[in-house]
Structure 1
Amino acid sequence: MKGKLLFMSIIIGGSLLSCNGTPEESNRARMDKNEIIGQANPVIENGIMTPEVLHSFGRVGSFEVSPDKTSLLYQVTYVSIPQNKSNSELFIMKSDGSEKRRLTVTNISESNPHWINKGKKIAFLGSETGSSQIWSMNPDGGGMTKLSDVDGDIEGFKFSPDETKVLFIKSVKSVDTASDRYSDLQKASGRVVDDLMYKHWDHWVESVPHPFVADVSGNKLTNIKDLLEGEPYEAPLAPFGGIEQLAWSPDSKIVAYTSKKKTGREYAESTNSDIYFYNFESGEVKNMTEGMMGYDINPTFSPDGTMLAWQSMERDGYEADKNRLFVMNLATGEKTDLTENFDNNCDTYIWGEDNSTIYMVSSVNGTSQIYSVTLATKEIKALTEGKHNYLSIALGADGIIASRQSMSQPTEIYSVNLNTGESTNITEENKHILDQLQMGEVEERWIETTDGKQMLTWVVYPPNFDPAKKYPALLYCQGGPQSSLDQFWSYRWNMQMMAANGYIVVAPNRRGVPGFGSEWLEQISGDYGGQNMKDYFSAIDAVAAEPFVDENRLGATGASYGGFSVYWLAGNHDGRFKAFFSHAGIFNLEAQYLETEEMFFANWDMGGPYWDKSNAVAQKTYANSPHLFVEKWDTPIMISHGELDYRILASQGMMAFNAAQMRDIPSRMLIFPDENHWIAKPQNGILFQREFFRWFDQWLK
C-alpha cells in the first residue's frame, strides 16, 4: 500500500506537531498522493441536512479506557466522497474529554486500539505493509513498531493479562478449490459445491476465522498456534462475530472462545454455538455450554476469575430468541440466568470490579439504556433514561464510559454518572456540524393497534415544522424482522435526512420488534403478512388523520424485511399510498426459501419449506408472498438491490421490477453490482439518497 504511518500528535482543531524531529512537510510528503481523509468541515447555510452533510460526520468507533482509568483511546472513521473511500484514525484524550490528540494521520485505516504494557504502550491494527497486522506505538504517537508478520490479515486481537501472549483472529482456508483438485487448471474460476453454506451474506465460504495464540517475544510474535488447527469450524462466528467472542482468563491460562462446530447443512439449519475453554497447561478443550441449544456467545471472565458470563439464547434455530445473560460458577459448574425475570434482551455487558455486579445495555420501549444486574438477587435496575441508544460500555474512574447515539445525533462517547444517570459528551467529534443543523422533533407516540394493544411509534417532524401546513409522510418499515427500531442513527435510513427533505416520518415498532417483551417479539414468526401489517396500517392511519398530514401524499419504504413489507403493502394497501421504495426486499417467499443461506432463519420465521402441505404455518406464510398480489399493484414503485447480496438475492428485486414493468406500473430500479445487503461505498450511498428523494419527490410533491 502507498503511504507511511506518521508518528505525530495532533490537537484537534490545532496545528500538526512533528515527532522525533520530523518536519510536517516531510511527513506529508511520505503520504499517499491523495489528500488525507480526515475531519470534514462543511458550511451549512440553511441548517438542512443533505446526503453530502450526512457523509461528513466523523464516525466514532471502538474505544478503550486506560488501565489507570485516566485516559481513553478511540477510533474515528472519516469518509471522502471524491475518493469514494473511508479512513479510520486513532485518537487519545483524558477521560474527561480534555487534551484530545490525533495519533495517526494516514489513508490506510488504523483500528482496534488497545492499551498494553500497563498503559505505557498502545497496540492497534494497521496495514502499512499491505496486510492488517498488529503494531505498537507510544501514547504520543511515536515509536511505532510492527509486532506481527503473519500471512493474511489479522482481524482482531487481545493480549493476555500478563502480556506474555496475544490472541488474534485470522481466516484459514476451509475448502478445496478447482485449482487445488486439478493442477492443470490453475486459472479455472468455477466452484464445486457439495453441501449447503457455500455462501454467506456477501461472500463465498472458502475460509473460516480461527483463533490463534502466539508468544510475545520482545517486538515479535513466536510459537504461533491455531487453537482449532485442522478443524473446519468458525471461531468467532462469521461474518459478524469479532474479538468480543474470545476472552482470556485473568491468570492467562485459559482462552474462552465462541464456536458453532458444524459445517454444511448442519450449520445452515442450526444456531447452536457454544463456549469452549482451551487450557494452555493441559492442552484440553472443554465445551462449557454443552446441552444449551441456542446461540451462546461473548464469554467474559469475572475480574477474580471465579465466574464466567456470556449471552445465551435458549432455542436452536431461532436467531431472534431472547438474548439472556448467564453466569457460571467455575468451581461448581452451576449456571444461572440473571435475566429470567427480565423480558428483554441483554445486548452487551461488562463486569463490575466487585465481581458481584454486571452492567448491561438493553433495548426497552424504543431506547437502549444501561442497567445494573446484581448477581446475588438478580435485581435489574435501569441506570439511565432518555431518548437515545447506548451502544458499548466500559468502566471509567467514576462511572461508565459509553458510546451513544440517537435519531438526531451520530455516535459519540459519553461519561455516565451511575448515581444520577447524567451523561457528558466527551468526544464532541461532530459538534461543529450539529451546531449548524436544524433537527426535526422526534416524538414518542403510542398508537392503539387493531387488537387493542399500545404500539410505540416514532414520528419525526421536518425542521421548522409548521402545523398550519400539510406535509407528505413516509411510513418506515423496519427490517430484521426482529431488529430494534429504537433511537438508532443510520447513514442510509436516516430519519432526520427524510425529515429534512420535507417529510413527516412514521416509524412504528410493529409486532416482531424487540424491546417490548417476548410475546410482542415472537408474534411475527410464522405470521408474515399478518398482524404486523395491520400494525403498519394503524400507525400510518393515525398520523395521516392529523390536519398537518396530506393523506393523499403518503409513501412507504424499508429494507430487507422492510422491503418485503413494502412489496406486500403494494398489493394490499387499499389506496393509502401514492409511492413505494423497497431495498433488498423479499418478493417471492418460495424462491427466497431456496435462495437464502441460513436455513434456520427460513425454517423458523417462515415455518418451513413451501412443499410441506401439511404444515399450516408454512402454508400461511407462502400464501402471503408479495408476488401473489401483483395483480392488485396500482402504485408507482422503486426498487434497489445489491448484486453481492447473498442473503436476499438481487433476483428478488429484479422480479419485482419486471412485474411492475409488465403491469405498466410506473417503476424504477437501482442496482448496485458492487454492494451487498447494505450500501457501503460513499458514492453509492450518495447515489442511493439522491435517487430515493428524486423518486418520492416526483410522486409525493
Structure 2
Amino acid sequence: MAASLRWLGSGMILVLAPVLIAAPRAMTVDDLLALHRVSDVQLSPDGREAAFVVTDVVKAENRTNSDIWVVPVGGGSEPRALTNSPRDDQHPRWSPDGRWIAFESNRDGARQIWILPVAGGEPRKLTALATEAGQPVWSADGRALAFVSAVFPEYSTLPPAEADRANRERLLALARRPVKARVFTRLPYRQGDTWDDGRRRHLFVMPMQQGGATAEPRDMTPGDHNAVADVGAGAGEDLFPAGDGFTFSPDGEELIYATAAESLRGETAGGDGDLVAVNLRTGERRLVAKTSANGGAPRFSPDGKWLAYRAPARRDARSTRGQLMVHNRSTGETRSLTPDFDRPVSEWAWAPDSAGLYFTAPDDGRRPVWAVRLDGESPQRVVANGTNSALNITPDGHALVWLAQTLTQPPRVMRMARETGATTVLADPNRALLDELALAPAESVTVTGAGGAKVQMWVVKPPRFAAGQKYPAVLWVHGGPREAFGDAWSWRWNPALWAAQGYVIALPNPSGSAGFGRALADAASADGNARLYADLMACTDWLARQPYVDATRLAAAGTAYGGFMINWFQGHTTRFRALISEAGVYNFSSMAGISDEAWRLEDGPGAPWEVEEGARFSPHRFAANFHTPELILHGEQDFRVPVGEALQLFTALQRRGVPSKLVLFPDEGHGLRKPLNRELWHREVFAWLAEYLAAPRAAPR
C-alpha cells in the first residue's frame, strides 16, 4: 500500500493554510472501494506499540493488498508502515521479547511464514512448504512457532523433508493430470467455495532462535483429520479469527487446539468439537474439554494457572449462546464465568493480573466490551457503544487497545484509559475521506413484533435529509438466521452507501437475531420462519407509517438467509415494489442434498427423507403467488447455497411472467470478494431500485 496515507491519530495537531471547504457530498461506490480496511490489532509485549493490518483495493488488478503498520500506544506520532509489499502481508504476531514480528505473506507467490525485525531490516522467509503456511503463533518463551498447513495426510508421518517432497510431487501431479474427475467416499466433500482435494489442515511447530528457524517444522497433528476449522469457509460471525484456535501451554511442552469432531452428517465449522492437547516431545494427545468446532479458542492466563475457552450453552446448531469457560490447571475444576449471561461470548483477552477477562458479545444491536472476574461477579460493561473487536490489554492493566467501528465509521484503532474511561484515536486512515462525505448517523428504534416482543431496528436516512419530504425505503433482512445487524461498518452491504442513493434503509433484528437472548431465539426456532416473517412485516408496517417514508415505494433486500426470506416474501406479500435476493434458498428439498452445511437443516424437524414438515417453509411451494419484480444475484462457486437455487428461482419467475433479472458471478462463492465484481453488484442493485422505486411522474397538463 502507499506509504503516503494521511493519518489522524492521538494528540496530533493538523495545521492547514486557509482553504475553501467543500460541502459534504454523497458517498459513492468508488468511495467504498477507496477506504482503507483496518484489522487484526496486536499489542507489543511491553504495551508500547500496536501492530495492525491495513488492506486496500487494487482496482486495476481486481484484488486487494494488505500491509502491516505499527502505532505508538502512547500517541504523539503517526503510524508507520512495517511492510510495503505488492501482495498480502497479514496476521502479525509479536515475539515474546518484542524484537520480531512473524506474519504470513504471499509476496513471492505462495503463502508462507515470514519474520521481520522490529528495529529495522528486511523480512526473511521462514517456511517454504509446498502446501504453504499461515497463522503463526509464538510459544511463551519465543523458542517455537506454530502454524497451519494443509497437507496430504498419508505423508504426515514421514520425516519433514520427505513429507514436503511427497506433498510437492502430489500437487504437481494433480495439476498436470489430463483427467480432472473428483472422487469422494465420505462427507464433507466441499466447504465454502473449495472442493476437498484430500488435504487436511494440520498444525506444525518450528523451533526458533534469534529470529530464525533452527530445524525443519514438524507436523504435530498427523493423520486423516483436520486439526483446525477452515476459517475461510464462511461459517459465520461466531467463528474465531484465524490463529485463535490454538496456543502453546505456558511451559511450551504442549500445543492446545480446538478441532472438529468426525461426523457422518458432514458437520464442519459449526459442529461438535474437542479441545485437545498434544505433547510436543512425544506426540501424544489428550482431551482437555468437549466444546464445538467454532468454540475452543484456548487462552492461558498470564500466571499460567487457568485456561479459558468457549463452549456452547447447548449442543445444537440453533444455539446462539457461547459461554466463557475457565479450567483450573491445578484442581482440574472447570466452570462457566457467564452461566447467567444471556448473550453469546465472541472473543476475549485475559487481564494482566489473571484475576479476570475482557470479552465482547453482541447485545441489542451493538457489540460492547465486558469485564468479568474469576470471583464470580456478573459481567460489567467497559465499552458500551458501537461494535468492538481485537481486544488487547496493556501489561500494567491501565489501558485497553482495540478496534472500534459503527454503521458510519469504519474500524479504527482506539485506546481507553481504564481508570477514567477517556478514549483516544490511535489510527484512523479514513478520516480525511470521511470528512468529505455526508453520512447521516444511524438511529435505533424499537418495534413491537410477534407476541408483543420488542424488535430492535437500525434506520439510516439519506444525506441532507429533509423532514418534510417523503423518501422511498428499503427493508434489509440479515443472514444466519442467527446473525444480527449491528452498529458496524460493512464493506459489502453498506447502508450509508444505499442511503446515499436517496433511500431510507431499515435494518431490523427479528426474533432469533444474535444478542437478544435465548428465549427469543428458541421462540423463533419453534415455528420455522413464521415468527421472523411476522416480525419483519411489523417492521415494514412501522416503516410505512413514518411521515418521511413513501409507503407506496418500498423494496426489500437480503443475502443468504436474508435472501431466503426475500424469496419467502415473494410468495406471501405484494407490498414491495421490488425485491433483491442474494445467495438465497429457494427449494429446501434440493438445498438439503447439495449444501456444504445441509446438516444444519436437520437440527429443526429432521432430515428431509425423515419428515415432510420442513418443506412447508420452502419458497418454491408458493411460486403460484409470485408477482413482485425480483433481482437475483449469486456466486457460481457458492457451496453453502448452491447456484441451482438461483437458477430454479429465476426459471419460476420467468415462467410466471414476473419481471426478473439473474446476475451470476462465475468466480465468486458465498459472498463477493473481487473489487470489480462488487462494483458491478452495486451497479445492478442500484439500477434495479432506481427502476422500481422511481417517483411517479406528474401527469401531463
Normalised to the residue count of structure 1, the TM-score between the two structures is 0.89
Aligned to 2:648: 655
2:111 is aligned with 1:132: yes
Does the aligned pair in 1 maintain the 2:524–2:532 contact within 8 Å?
Answer: yes
How far apart in 2 are the matches of 1:368 and 1:221?
43
Aligned to 2:325: 326
Task: Give the aligned residue type for 2:191.
Answer: H
SS at structure 2 position matched to 1:68: coil
The offset of 1:512, in angstroms, is 1.4
1:222-258: CA deviation from partner (whole Å, max 9, x where unpaired): 1421111123233245545631000112221221111
1:296-338: CA deviation from partner (whole Å, max 9, x where unpaired): 4100111111110001114334264411100011122111011
The offset of 1:268, in angstroms, is 5.7
2:607 is aligned with 1:609: yes
SS at structure 2 position matched to 1:539: helix
Of stretches 99-108 and 444-453 in structure 1, the one that deviates more from structure 2 is 99-108
2:69 maps to which of 88, 91, 98:
91
SS at structure 2 position matched to 1:525: helix
How far apart in 2 are the matches of 1:572 and 1:374?
49
SS at structure 1 position matched to 2:226: coil
Change (3 A) 1:154 1:228: same
Task: Give the aligned residue type for 1:601.
Answer: R
Aligned to 2:452: 452
How far apart in 2 are the matches of 1:147 and 1:665?
58
How far apart in 2 are the matches of 1:496 and 1:44?
20
How far apart in 2 are the matches of 1:410 and 1:649?
31
Change (3 A) 1:372 1:96: same
How far apart in 2 are the matches of 1:147 and 1:184?
26
Does the aligned pair in 2 maintain the 1:152–1:170 contact within 8 Å?
Answer: yes
Change (3 A) 1:646 1:474: same
Does the aligned pair in 1 maintain the 2:475–2:506 contact within 8 Å?
Answer: yes
SS at structure 2 position matched to 1:571: helix
SS at structure 2 position matched to 1:519: helix
2:389 maps to which of 379, 388, 391:
391
Does the aligned pair in 2 maintain the 1:529–1:568 contact within 8 Å?
Answer: no
2:683 maps to which of 667, 677, 690:
690
Task: Give the aligned residue type for 1:380.
Answer: P
2:235 is aligned with 1:235: no
Aligned to 2:18: none
Does the aligned pair in 1 maintain the 2:440–2:461 contact within 8 Å?
Answer: yes
SS at structure 2 position matched to 1:532: helix
Does the aligned pair in 1 maintain the 2:259–2:293 contact within 8 Å?
Answer: no
The offset of 1:609, in angstroms, is 2.2
How far apart in 1 are the matches of 2:423 and 2:67?
25
Task: Give the aligned residue type for 2:631.
Answer: M
SS at structure 1 position matched to 2:383: coil
How far apart in 2 are the matches of 1:665 and 1:10?
51
Does the aligned pair in 2 maintain the 1:208–1:238 contact within 8 Å?
Answer: no
How far apart in 2 are the matches of 1:148 and 1:140?
22
Of stretches 259-268 and 533-542 in structure 1, the one that deviates more from structure 2 is 259-268
1:205 maps to which of 196, 214, 218:
196
SS at structure 1 position matched to 2:149: strand
Give 1:136-215 correspondences, 5 Å limit: 136-174=115-153, 186-206=177-197, 207-215=199-207
SS at structure 2 position matched to 1:353: coil
Change (3 A) 1:53 1:354: same
Change (3 A) 1:626 1:221: farther
Aligned to 1:678: 671
How far apart in 1 are the matches of 2:133 and 2:313?
32
Change (3 A) 1:185 1:454: closer
The offset of 1:134, in angstroms, is 2.1
Give 1:520-535 correspondences, 5 Å limit: 520-535=520-535
Aligned to 1:315: 314
RMSD: 2.5
The offset of 1:13, in angstroms, is 4.0
How far apart in 1 are the matches of 2:420 and 2:652?
57
The offset of 1:696, in angstroms, is 0.5
How far apart in 2 are the matches of 1:603 and 1:269?
16
Give 1:262-341 correspondences, 5 Å limit: 262=262, 265=265, 267=267, 271-290=271-290, 296-318=295-317, 320-341=319-340
How far apart in 1 are the matches of 2:648 and 2:576?
21
How far apart in 2 are the matches of 1:162 and 1:103?
24
Change (3 A) 1:268 1:330: same
How far apart in 2 are the matches of 1:277 and 1:185?
39
2:52 is aligned with 1:74: yes
1:508-549: CA deviation from partner (whole Å, max 9, x where unpaired): 110110111101123332533301001000001111111211
How far apart in 1 are the matches of 2:270 and 2:231?
14
2:573 is aligned with 1:570: no
Aligned to 2:635: 642
1:411-437: CA deviation from partner (whole Å, max 9, x where unpaired): 111112333444222101100111111
Task: Give the aligned residue type for 2:317.
Answer: Y
The offset of 1:126, in angstroms, is 2.3
SS at structure 2 position matched to 1:556: strand
Aligned to 2:217: 224
SS at structure 1 position matched to 2:672: coil
Aligned to 1:461: 461
Aligned to 1:104: 83
How far apart in 1 are the matches of 2:428 and 2:53?
13
Does the aligned pair in 2 maintain the 1:511–1:524 contact within 8 Å?
Answer: yes
Does the aligned pair in 1 maintain the 2:126–2:213 contact within 8 Å?
Answer: yes
Aligned to 1:65: 43
How far apart in 1 are the matches of 2:121 and 2:431?
28
Does the aligned pair in 2 maintain the 1:473–1:554 contact within 8 Å?
Answer: yes
2:104 is aligned with 1:116: no
Give 1:386-535 correspondences, 5 Å limit: 386=385, 388-396=386-394, 398-535=398-535
The offset of 1:188, in angstroms, is 1.2
Change (3 A) 1:544 1:286: same
Runs (4 or more) in structure 1 with deviation over 6 Å come to 182-185
Does the aligned pair in 2 maintain the 1:246–1:257 contact within 8 Å?
Answer: yes
Change (3 A) 1:163 1:501: same
The offset of 1:282, in angstroms, is 4.7
1:373-396: CA deviation from partner (whole Å, max 9, x where unpaired): 11112421011222x100220112
Normalised to the residue count of structure 2, the TM-score between the two structures is 0.89
Percentage of pairs with the same residue: 28
1:455-493: CA deviation from partner (whole Å, max 9, x where unpaired): 111111111111111100000001111012211211221
The offset of 1:140, in angstroms, is 4.9
Aligned to 1:594: 593
Question: Structure 2, unaligned stretches of length 5 or more?
Answer: 8-20, 156-166, 234-239, 695-701
Of stretches 515-524 and 84-93 in structure 1, the one that deviates more from structure 2 is 515-524
How far apart in 1 are the matches of 2:330 and 2:607?
45
SS at structure 2 position matched to 1:558: strand
Task: Give the aligned residue type for 1:511.
Answer: S
How far apart in 1 are the matches of 2:570 and 2:26?
31
Does the aligned pair in 2 maintain the 1:133–1:154 contact within 8 Å?
Answer: yes
Does the aligned pair in 1 maintain the 2:320–2:514 contact within 8 Å?
Answer: no
1:113-162: CA deviation from partner (whole Å, max 9, x where unpaired): 22226122222222233222222223254233222222222121112111
Question: Structure 1, unaligned stretches of length 5 or more?
Answer: 1-5, 15-42
SS at structure 1 position matched to 2:572: coil
SS at structure 2 position matched to 1:150: coil
Does the aligned pair in 2 maintain the 1:296–1:311 contact within 8 Å?
Answer: yes
The offset of 1:11, in angstroms, is 6.9
Change (3 A) 1:185 1:457: closer
